[in-house]
A and B are shown apart, each in its own frame.
Chain A
C-alpha cells in the first residue's frame, strides 16, 4: 500500500495543469482458480493482480493511465504526463485526505486466501461425482472453481479516501450429455460475495452439479424449437438476463449521457407495462454484485430504475453526472485498475408481482416456457437484444409440454417492456459476469417468472 503522502503527491502532480479532478485507484487482488475435466483436477493457478490507475479530468474529459509500478517517482511521472492533456494554469484546488474510511458491510467468515488448495479442488470432485451420478448419459463434466480477495484503495481530490475489500467465490459446472446422434450441455454457476463458507452456508455442491446435468439431459431429449412470434414465459432467476440486456444497459449513463440510448430523456415517462418495477441494488448483503463502495469510492446504493412502469432513475457514475448535470447514483464500477470506471449495474432485478407461477402457465394457451436462460447481448442505441434459451418447453392449453432446444429470443427492449403482461411472485436472483466498457464485472440478474405477450423466437425448426 502507498502512504497517504505519496497518494497526495500523485494527486497534486495530476493537478499541476488545468485539470479539475484527479483520482488514484490502487488494487491488490489474489485469486485462485481450478479446473476439473475427465474427473481429474486439470489446472490449478494462483494469481496476483496488482496495479494502480490514475485518472485526471477536466469537466467530463478524462485521461487515464495505469501501471504495475508502485514507485512514487513512476506514479508522479505518470500523473504529470497525463496532466499535459489539460494545458493551462492550475486551478488552485486544495484537498486533504482524512482518515482512511473502511466500513465493511458484507462480512466474510473464511477468507479464501487462507483455505488450502486441497479443500478447493475437493469441491470440484464432489461436483463431478454428483453430476455424473445423475445419469449415464452424462459423458463429460467440466467444473471450475474460482475465488478472489480484491483490496482496493480509492483517493481523489474531492477528499475521498476509502478502502474496500471484495471477496467472491463461485463454482461453475458444465455437464455434457451425449447419445449417438449428438451432444448437448447444461450449465449452472452459483456464487456470491462470500469466502469459502459459501459451500456450507449457501451452495449445495451436489445439487448445483445435478442441476447442470438435468439441463443437459433435458436438451438431449428435446426437439428443435419452432420459430415465429409467440407468448414467452421467462422463469425466475437467470431469466432476469432479459431485463439486464434489454433495458439495464440502456439505463447506464455511459450510453444515456451521450444520447446514445433509446431511454435518453425519458425519465418520468412510462416505458414499461404497469406491472414492472425494476431495481438495481448494490447493497444486498453478500450478493454477487454487491460491494460496500463503488469503484469511485462512493457508498453503494439501492436504485429504483422503474416504478410501476415509469422510468425513475438511470445508473450514473460521477463523471457522467457532470455531463448530465445531476447527481450521480454511485454506479461507477470497473474490472480492475486497467479500466477507468463507468456506470454499471450491480444486482439488477424486476421486483415481485402478484401472479403465481401456476397462474401464469395456466393462462397461456400456446407459447414458449423459457425455464433457463443462457447469455445475450444488446445494442444500447437501438435497444435490440438477443438471448439464448438454455432450457425450454412448449406450452399448450395451460400445460407445460414437450422440451425444445436451440431457441434464441430477439426483440427490442422498449417493446418487450410494454408487452410484459404477467409478473410472478417468486423473485430469485442468479449470478453472471457482465462485460462492457470498464471490463468484466460480477452482476446478479433476477426476476420472478414473467410473461411477455409476444416475442420473436428463433429456432431451427420452421414455423408451427
Chain B
C-alpha cells in the first residue's frame, strides 16, 4: 500500500504531520474434541490506524477498509477528532531514533512452514496424552494456534519502520471428576519454534493440575501465610501494571505518584519491562510511536526506579519516552518480576502453616488498581508442616497489592510468562486475609 497520496491530502487539509500504523497478518487456530477436529480457523486481516496533528491536537482514526477511496474519510476524521480535543498536552509525530537495537528471532518462518496436517495431528495427540495421564480426566479440549503480524509505521517526518513477528501456542483445557467433585485446569506453552513444544509436559502438568484439586473445599477464615504460585502471582500482577503508567501518575489515579526513588516493595522484588525477550510476540525494537524500546527496570530491589512513558507523558515530566507508547495507551512489552534463588518446593517445605495458591479468578473485577485493594476467588492447597494436606477452593484472598509487595518474604526461581507476556515467579507472602468457612 502506498500512502504518499494520503500524506499529500493531509497537508492540503492543514494537517501538520501524519503517521500511519498498518498492522496486517494471518491467524490459524485448531481445537479438537473427542478425537476429531472440531474447529479450525484461518484468517487474513489488516487494520490501519492513522494519527495526525491538526491545530496542535492529535486526531486519530482507524479503518479495516484500506484503499485510496478511504483517504478522504481518514483525513476528515482526523480533523474532526482533533477539533473536538481539548487536552493541552503537547503532542508529537516522531522523527525517529538514531539507533534501533536489532532484535533477533521475532519471526521464525519454520513455524509457518510446518504442515497444518501435522499441527492438527499433534493437537489430537495432545488430547490423547492428557487423557492417558489420569483416569479422572473426563474431558479435554486441546488447542493449537499461531499467528503472524506485519507492522509498518510511516510518517510525514520521513520515519519508516517495519517488523514481522510470529508466535504459536499449544495447550489443553482439562476437566477432571471423581464422581462427586469436578475441577478444571488450563495448561499451555508459547513459542515461535515448533520444536520447543513439549506435548508430554503440557499433558502431564494439565492433568495433574485438574486432578489435584478434586475434593477441594474452603478452609477456615483468617490470616494465612501464602505462597502465590507463578501463575497466580502473574494473574495478580497484570491488573496492577497500570499503576506504573506515567499517564495514570499524571492524572492522579496511581498510588505510585511521587514515589520515585522510594522503597515500595520488599528488597527481593525487581520488576522489569524487557522488549528484547526472545520468542515473544510483544518484543521489538520500537513501540507504536516509532520510539526505540529499552530495557526498563521499574522496581530495582524494592525501590521504584521508573514509570512507563510515551512521548506525550515524557514531555510533561521532561524526560525521554521509555518506548511504552502503544496504540491503546501506555503498556509494557514483556513485563515480569525477576526470578529469585528459592526453589518453590523449598518454599513450600519451609512453611509450617499456610496456603499455596495455584489459581486466582475474577481479577478483572476483584482488583482495584486505583486503590490497590483486591479480593479474589482463590484455589490451591492447605500446607501444614511443609506438606500439602488438603486441596482448597471457594475461598477469597484479600489485601492491598502494594502492601503485598512489601510483605514478600521469598521470590522463587520458577518464572512463567502468561499469554499476554506478563510473568512472575512464585512468591511467598507474610500474610493475607482469607475468607472461607
A407-B375, A458-B395 given; A375·B184 CB < 8 A:
no
- Taking a contact as CB atoms under 8 Å apart, the answer to whether A375 and B364 are in contact is yes
* Nearest CB of A to B142, in Å: 13
* Nearest CB of A to B318, in Å: 19
Does B86 touch A at the CB level, under 8 Å? yes
Does A40 touch B at the CB level, under 8 Å? yes
Does A228 touch B at the CB level, under 8 Å? yes
Please count how many residues in chain B sit with their CB below 8 Å of the partner chain's CB atoms.
71
Residues of B contacting A461 with CB < 8 Å? Answer: 433
**B362 in complex: contacting residue of A63, A340, A407, A408, CB < 8 Å:** A408
* Bound Cα distance A340, B253 (Å): 38
A65-B43, A410-B377, A410-B396 given; A227·B435 CB < 8 A:
yes
* A28-87, CB < 8 A from B: 34, 37-38, 40-51, 60-69, 78, 81-82, 85
Residues of B contacting A377 with CB < 8 Å? Answer: 361-362, 364-365, 377
* Bound Cα distance A462, B77 (Å): 54
Does B346 touch A at the CB level, under 8 Å? no
Residues of A contacting B370 with CB < 8 Å? Answer: 176, 183-185
- Taking a contact as CB atoms under 8 Å apart, the answer to whether A381 and B175 are in contact is yes
* Bound Cα distance A281, B361 (Å): 28
Does A161 touch B at the CB level, under 8 Å? no
Contact string, B418-437, partner A, CB cutoff 8 A, digits 1/0? 00000000000000011111
- Taking a contact as CB atoms under 8 Å apart, the answer to whether B86 and A40 are in contact is yes
Residues of B contacting A260 with CB < 8 Å? Answer: 139, 175
* Bound Cα distance A253, B396 (Å): 29
Tell me whether chain B's interface is mostly helix, strand or loop, or mixed: strand
- Taking a contact as CB atoms under 8 Å apart, the answer to whether B251 and A38 are in contact is yes
**Tier of interface size on chain A:** 35 or more
Residues of A contacting B396 with CB < 8 Å? Answer: 227, 386, 408, 410, 456, 458
* Nearest CB of B to A185, in Å: 5
* Bound Cα distance A463, B87 (Å): 47
* A431-464, CB < 8 A from B: 456-463
A46-B80, A229-B437, A462-B222 given; A338·B45 CB < 8 A:
yes
- Taking a contact as CB atoms under 8 Å apart, the answer to whether A41 and B39 are in contact is no
Residues of A contacting B184 with CB < 8 Å? Answer: 379, 381-382
Taking CB as reference atom, which chain A residue is nearest B77? A46
**A63 in complex: contacting residue of B40, B66, B80, B83, CB < 8 Å:** B40
Does A111 touch B at the CB level, under 8 Å? no
- Taking a contact as CB atoms under 8 Å apart, the answer to whether B253 and A176 are in contact is yes
Residues of A contacting B36 with CB < 8 Å? Answer: 61
Taking CB as reference atom, which chain A residue is nearest B359? A379
Does A406 touch B at the CB level, under 8 Å? yes
* Nearest CB of B to A85, in Å: 6
* B170-185, CB < 8 A from A: 175, 182-184
* Nearest CB of B to A415, in Å: 9
**A408 in complex: contacting residue of B42, B222, B364, B377, CB < 8 Å:** B377
Does A198 touch B at the CB level, under 8 Å? no
- Taking a contact as CB atoms under 8 Å apart, the answer to whether B60 and A44 are in contact is yes
Taking CB as reference atom, which chain B residue is nearest A259? B139
Does A263 touch B at the CB level, under 8 Å? no
Contact string, B329-361, partner A, CB cutoff 8 A, digits 1/0? 000000000000000000000000000000001
**Interface with A: B279-287, B303-311, B397-405, which one?**
B397-405
- Taking a contact as CB atoms under 8 Å apart, the answer to whether B37 and A227 are in contact is no
**B37 in complex: contacting residue of A85, A121, A412, A458, CB < 8 Å:** A85
- Taking a contact as CB atoms under 8 Å apart, the answer to whether B375 and A50 are in contact is no
* Nearest CB of B to A74, in Å: 8
* Bound Cα distance A410, B436 (Å): 9
* Nearest CB of B to A236, in Å: 19
Does B150 touch A at the CB level, under 8 Å? no
Contact string, A158-184, partner B, CB cutoff 8 A, digits 1/0? 000000000000000000101000111
Does A304 touch B at the CB level, under 8 Å? no
**A376 in complex: contacting residue of B86, B183, B221, B365, CB < 8 Å:** B365
- Taking a contact as CB atoms under 8 Å apart, the answer to whether A41 and B371 are in contact is no
* Bound Cα distance A412, B180 (Å): 14
Residues of B contacting A45 with CB < 8 Å? Answer: 60-62, 81
- Taking a contact as CB atoms under 8 Å apart, the answer to whether B362 and A388 are in contact is yes
Does A285 touch B at the CB level, under 8 Å? no
Taking CB as reference atom, which chain B residue is nearest A38? B251
* Nearest CB of A to B62, in Å: 4
Does A151 touch B at the CB level, under 8 Å? no
Does B59 touch A at the CB level, under 8 Å? yes
Does B108 touch A at the CB level, under 8 Å? no
- Taking a contact as CB atoms under 8 Å apart, the answer to whether A46 and B81 are in contact is yes
Taking CB as reference atom, which chain A residue is nearest B183? A382
- Taking a contact as CB atoms under 8 Å apart, the answer to whether B84 and A44 are in contact is yes
* Nearest CB of A to B34, in Å: 9
- Taking a contact as CB atoms under 8 Å apart, the answer to whether B252 and A386 are in contact is no
A183-B371, A184-B371, A340-B39 given; A258·B84 CB < 8 A:
no
Does B223 touch A at the CB level, under 8 Å? yes
* Bound Cα distance A228, B394 (Å): 12
Does B165 touch A at the CB level, under 8 Å? no
- Taking a contact as CB atoms under 8 Å apart, the answer to whether B63 and A462 are in contact is no
Residues of B contacting A381 with CB < 8 Å? Answer: 139, 175, 182-184
**A41 in complex: contacting residue of B46, B64, B66, B86, CB < 8 Å:** B86
A66-B43, A67-B45 given; A460·B253 CB < 8 A:
no
- Contacts A45-B81, A225-B375 known; 6 new A-B pairs at CB < 8 A: A48-B62, A61-B37, A260-B139, A387-B365, A456-B435, A462-B222
List 27 A–B pairs whose Cβ atoms lie within 8 Å, in order of A's numbering. A41-B84, A42-B87, A44-B80, A44-B81, A44-B84, A47-B63, A48-B70, A48-B73, A49-B64, A63-B40, A63-B41, A67-B44, A85-B40, A176-B253, A178-B252, A338-B43, A382-B393, A384-B377, A386-B361, A405-B373, A408-B366, A408-B375, A410-B394, A458-B377, A458-B398, A460-B400, A460-B433
